[in-house]
Amino acid sequence: MGQVLLFRLGEDSFALEVTALQEVVDHPALHYLPQAPEHFLGAINVHGQVLPLLDLSGFLGYPQRPRHTRYIVLAPEVCAVALAVDNVGRIVTPDEPEGEEDQSTQTGPRSEEIMCGGVQVRLLDAGQLHARLEQMFQVTGGQDGV
């Protein structure tokens, strides 16, 4: 595994593989999205592309908290969405695994546990997040996927 971007949801630490990311954006204007599905905060413009902004905390069942206005933009080939998280950290290289990796029992997209700098974090699977969003749009009757 290559490098990962660390971020926080509530008191929990998460990571996304850098290969799943386009960039982190600071303070973009947030635009209202009429009839947006639950957990979508609006839309942002990133280099001329309008992306829905997903409240990842709410989507994964974390309580609402104030969050920073730095958003994680996933690579378009992974999922055309930006993620609002509680705090965006830094890019790090995970520690070498010491035996079998644990699997999370979280109800959201699968996230395996990895170690980064001696701290255990959940590695969020961006592909599974995309699949879950697609499924949500199919259930709610949305015309287009995410």
CATH code (residue 61): 2.40.50.180
Overall number of domains in the chain? 1
Judge whether 145 lies within some domain: no
Contact indicator for 93, 86 with CB cutoff of 8 Å: no
Q: Which residues contact 85 (CB under 8 A, 6 or more apart)?
A: 7, 8, 9, 14, 56, 57, 67, 68, 71, 72
Judge whether 11 lies within some domain: yes
Judge whether 146 lies within some domain: no
Q: Report pLDDT digits (tens) over 19-75.
A: 999 999 998 999 998 988 888 999 999 999 999 999 999 899 888 777 778 999 999
Rounded Cα–Cα distance for residues 145 and 37 (Å): 12
Domain residue limits at 94? 4-140
Judge whether 78 lies within some domain: yes
